[in-house]
Amino acid sequence: MNTANPGYIVVEGPIGVGKTSLAQRLADAFGARALLERPEENPFLERFYASRKHFALPTQLFFLFQRARQIQELKQGDMFSSGSVSDFLMDKDKLFARVNLDDDELRLYEQVFGQMNTDWSAPDLVIYLQAPVDVLMERLRRRDIPYERMIERAYLKSLVDAYTQYFYHYTAAPLLMVNASEINFVDSEADFDMLLAHIRKIKTGRHFFNPLKAEL
């Protein structure tokens, strides 16, 4: 990977795994633009966690339009001059839609998605962060965002399972799968430098980064 210009990197993973923090840290390290989700702007999100069945569709459509608008703004600007690091794939929107929407809502969502301009650039690298459900629940408890207190373990597990299935079949870009259950990319310079060195080696294919096994 070109260390002066990392291209377009995406960090993905389930709620609480640390993708936004890592994306910002990588953007700072590369001098790249950070493209981060803004869940606090979604007026339906808190109501969704309180009653998923009643607020799933408006919550999902808001995120769809928000993510599409953010990527379009990048494309209209100089997206690749210094590189960009994002904490979401557009396909993530469909992943959440399939978990959250009933059949009728999903058909409507897919019609809306199909009418959008989906000419989005494939990333130069996707970093998929993985952690067990219990680890994610503990991280959500520690960061203590009010609406996240309503997230149930069963719901989080359904998202983890959906991510696992999605990335098992993912071939659209080079992929780095990271065991993020024990390491701290934000507060530990050693952990971050170890990951960064691994990222810089990747050009193609699927790769695994498991620092726990590496220490054995």
Contact (CB, 8 A) for 106 and 97: yes
Give the domain CATH number at 196: 3.40.50.300
Q: How far apart are the first and last CA of the chain?
A: 28
As a whole number of angstroms, the distance between CA 66 and CA 73 comes to: 11
Can you give the pLDDT at residue 165?
95
Within the chain, strands assigned E span 8-12, 33-35, 84-86, 125-130, 175-179, 206-209
**What's the number of domains the chain is made of?**
1
User: In the prediction, which pLDDT does 150 show?
Assistant: 94
* pLDDT range class, residue 211, cuts 50, 70, 90: confident
* Residue 154 located in a structural domain: yes
What is the pLDDT averaged over residues 79-93? 84
pTM score of the predicted model: 0.91
Confirm whether 3 is domain-assigned.
Answer: no
User: Residue 179's domain spans which residues?
Assistant: 8-214
Residue 25: inside a domain, yes or no? yes
pLDDT above 70: residue 78: no
Encoded tokens for 174: 């080079």
Helix (H) or strand (E) holding 7: none
Assigned domain for 166 exists: yes
Average pLDDT over residues 5-25: 93
Summarised one tens digit per residue, pLDDT across range 137-191 is 999 999 999 999 999 999 999 999 999 999 999 999 999 999 999 888 888 898 9
* Residue type, position 20, single letter: T
Residue with more model confidence, 213 or 84: 84
Residues forming beta bridges with residue 101, ordered by sequence position: none
53-62, Cβ contacts within 8 angstroms, sequence gap of 24 or more = 53/102, 56/100, 56/101, 56/102, 56/105, 57/101, 57/105, 57/108, 57/109, 59/100, 60/93, 60/96, 60/97, 60/100, 60/101, 60/105, 60/109, 61/109, 61/112
Using the structure block, give the residue that is written with the tokens 């969704």.
48
Is residue 118, in this structure, part of any structural domain at all?
yes
Tell me, yes or no, whether 130 lies in a domain.
yes
Let me know if residue 33 belongs to a domain.
Answer: yes
Confidence band, pLDDT 50/70/90 cuts, at residue 77: low
Position 116 scores a pLDDT of: 84
Would you say residue 2 lies in a domain? no
